Amino acid sequence: MIVKIFDILRISIVCLAFFFGYRIGSSGDYDPIAQLHFMIPLIIVAIAGISGMEGLLFARKSAEAKGFETGSNYQRQSAIALLSYAVISVIVYFTQWGIKAELTIFFTFIFFIFFSGINHAMDAFKRKNFKWQNINRPFITLALIAGMMYPVLMALKSLQ
């Protein structure tokens, strides 16, 4: 049950980040920097932070929900890596290091999530692991990338 709550919480917070982020960016002249400044830490904390805490505090239930083996040291290591993205995104946000630092942590996070999505997709095909928590990762990752592409490209364009 707790793993399902974490899943709903992650998706809900990301949806709110998109809703309010696009509102922030579109109020007046389009401002992708303001939009991303709001969205990046919220998205990373929602996905990486919650996933990291889930992996550390509810490791067995989390692994079972995804159809993965339990008790793996790799799982703990992945949870710590995910938490590191969340912590660094919060530090970058509160220290106001700027859009370049925000994009750096975002690209690092997206790199991990993208290849994690490929890993989950391969697991679905190889082991016929069609559990919701396993098969949703590739699709949710692609939706996240698609939704972030325009503001990221506009922010990069404004930096030139």
pLDDT mean values, one per 10 residues, the chain (160 residues): 91 97 94 97 98 90 75 86 97 97 98 93 87 83 97 95
Res 108: pLDDT:
97
Residue 61's pLDDT is: 84
Q: In Å, how far are 30, 56, 83, 108 from 88, measured between CA atoms?
A: 27, 18, 9, 11
**Cα distance between residue 21 and residue 32, in whole Å:** 9
**CA pair distance 143, 113, nearest whole angstrom:** 12
pLDDT of residue 160: 87
CB atoms within 10 A of CB 136: 16
